[in-house]
Amino acid sequence: MALKVAVLASGRGTDFQSIVDGVEKGEVEAEIALMLTNKPDAGAIERAKKHGIPYVVLLHDKGKSDDGYYAAVDAELAKRKVELVVLAGWMKYIRSGRFLRKWQGKMINIHNSLLPEFPGAHAQEDAFKAGAKVSGYTIHFVDESLDGGPVIYQESVDIGGCKSADEVAARILEREHVGLPKIVDSFAKGKYEIKGKKASYKRTG
């Protein structure tokens, strides 16, 4: 049975699209059971509509705590019996310890730098301003730290010739679209073991 995946996305949804494409091509053994966004104008919504994927827009009311918000997220995941949560451009730091504990080892994030270098929301700009010749992306488990969970996979990207932060972003994003579907598929075919800050993988299928 295909792995049930939920994608949380706040923006254009291009990483989300890469998983959709992988599923539709038969390269990712998964079912995208839900796309959830916190932005009513997120581009990911149109992508979900186009491919017939269930989606939910869940706004964070100012008076609601993080625990309250993520309890609502968790309820949506439970409805669809989700097994893996993928944060793909989810621009909302998760501060709910209850949610993090429940999804420990079952929630991953893709970040556009080679962590621990350039964490946070402006990684490509930071890499460009720092004059970095090589950057890349990291896929990691989500924990209570900011972009600090156990690393699953990293790929380096040559950015030495880039003339702007936008060019850095585009070059890295192109490679993200190759790597992310493969890692989602790996969860359907094996199991990750986390010890401290290290993650190891064993194929079972």
Q: What are 147-199's pLDDT values in tens digits? A: 999 999 999 999 999 999 999 999 999 999 999 999 999 999 999 999 999 99
| Residues whose CB falls within 8 Å of the CB of residue 28, separated by 6 or more in sequence, listed in order | 19, 22, 181, 182, 184, 185, 188
* Residue 12 confidence class, pLDDT cut points 50, 70, 90: very high
CA–CA dist 180, 154 (Å, integer): 10
What's the domain count of the chain?
Answer: 1
Domain that holds residue 188: 3-203
The torsion angle over the Cα atoms of residues 189, 138, 157 and 131, rounded to 10 degrees, is 180
Q: Name the region of 196 (left: φ>0; alpha: ψ -120 to 50; beta: rest).
A: left
4 forms beta bridges with: 31
What's the average model confidence in pLDDT over 60-70? Answer: 90
pLDDT tens per residue, range 93-149? 999 999 999 999 999 999 999 999 999 999 999 999 999 999 999 999 999 998 999
For 10, the token pair is 């706040």
Which residues participate in catalysis according to the annotation? 111
For 21, the token pair is 């494409």
pLDDT at 64 exceeding the cut of 90: no
Task: Give the global pTM.
Answer: 0.96
Q: Which amino acid is at 9?
A: A
| Residues whose CB falls within 8 Å of the CB of residue 189, separated by 6 or more in sequence, listed in order | 29, 203, 204, 205
pLDDT at 205 exceeding the cut of 80: no
Contact between residue 115 and residue 140 where contact means Cβ atoms under 8 Å apart = yes
Average pLDDT, the chain: 97
CA–CA dist 63, 48 (Å, integer): 29
Q: CA distances (Å), 133 to each of 124, 128, 171, in order? A: 12, 8, 12
77: CATH: 3.40.50.170
